[in-house]
Amino acid sequence: MKKFKETVFWKIIKNKYFIVCFIFFLIILFLDENNLFVIRSLHKDVAELEYTVDTMRQGICQDSLQAERLMYNLDTIERYGRENYFMKRKNEDVFIVVKDDD
């Protein structure tokens, strides 16, 4: 059986170019300004922001659809005014019921 110092694995590890490259990669991965952990957190932030952008775009589509309905339909305008601004017709009373969370 070969001794450990005579194996191919040991010869590769003992190579000065391998040692320099290994140290370089360790510095790049863990000690550099843009290390592996920073890159991972940046990718996570990008994913969260993309989700936020998609959510906002859906909201914009819904709002533009609502605006189009309000622009051309009088019944929708009346309903929106009654629900959001508590508007009423003549000879009509509006009662606001507030539920307590207790």
Residue 15 domain-assigned?
Answer: no
For residue 5, give the DSSP letter.
G
Residue numbers of the domain that contains 93: 48-102
Residue 40 domain-assigned?
Answer: no
Residue 17 domain-assigned?
Answer: no
Query: How many independent structural domains does the chain possess?
Result: 1
pLDDT at 1: 58
DSSP states along 16-45 = HHHHHHHHHHHIIIIISTT-HHHHHHHHHH
Tens place of pLDDT per residue across the chain (102 aa): 567 667 777 777 778 888 899 899 888 888 888 888 888 999 999 999 999 999 999 999 999 999 998 899 888 888 888 888 877 778 877 777 888 886
Residue 64 domain-assigned?
Answer: yes
Q: Global pTM? A: 0.56
Residue 12 domain-assigned?
Answer: no
pLDDT at 48: 98
